[in-house]
Structure 1
Amino acid sequence: MIPVSLNYLVLIYLCIMLGPILIAWFFYEWRRQRRERAAFRYVLRCTLCGFEFEDKTSTLLPRCPRCGSLNERYRPSRL
């Protein structure tokens, strides 16, 4: 049998128990961020009136439904 101290046994036990929880947490956080980016991909804010609207067309300058001004598409900045 391999001699292992109690400290190493506790460390191995913690790694085996907490490792899958940590991996699952990273996976779900990554998936949540990906879904959030996908949800806000088509959301635009009018530069004139500040109205937020959704535009799934591929037009370069979508028109605001409230005031009718043209708005440029830009990539939202990440925090």
Structure 2
Amino acid sequence: MTLSLNALVFGYVVLALGGLCAVGIFYERRRKSFEPEPTEDHIFRCTRCSYVYTDDPDVDRSRCPHCATPNEPVEF
């Protein structure tokens, strides 16, 4: 049984692309397993002392832990 040159090249390309896809999927899953989960906390920046801190997602205004000034959450 003989294979044509076109069939050999096609098989090589399919195997190489399949291997690259498998490696990409493996590393993407591995990267996601080590990343921290995103938090739902709000981020606040104090208008008085410029301290940046977080608070629970159900808080609309939060007092700065350094100077006790009430602040609004930062919108990105």
Q: Shorter-chain TM-score: what band?
A: 0.5 to 0.7
Q: Percent identity?
A: 21
Q: What does 1:1-20 correspond to in 2, within 5 Å?
A: 5-20=7-22
The 2-side partners of 1:25 and 1:44 are apart by: 35
What are the ranges of 5 or more consecutive residues in structure 2 without an aligned counterpart? Answer: none
Q: Give the match for residue 45 of structure 2.
A: 45
Contact 2:41 2:55 (C-alpha < 8 Å) held by counterparts: no
Number of aligned pairs?
73
The within-5 A match list for 1:29-40 is 29=31, 32=35, 35=37, 37-38=38-39
Larger radius of gyration: 2
Gaps of 5+ in 1: none
The one-letter code sitting in structure 2 at the alignment partner of 1:7 is: V
RMSD: 3.0
1:72 is aligned to 2:72: yes
- Taking structure 1 as the reference length, what is the TM-score of the superposition? 0.60
Aligned-partner Cα distance in 2 for 1:42–1:68? 17
Distance change in 2, residues 1:25/1:54 (3 Å): same
Could you tell me how far apart the structure 2 residues matched to 1:50 and 1:29 are? 34
Change in CA separation of 1:28 and 1:74 when aligned onto 2, cut-off 3 Å: farther
Kindly indicate which of the two structures has a greater share of residues assigned to strand.
Answer: 2
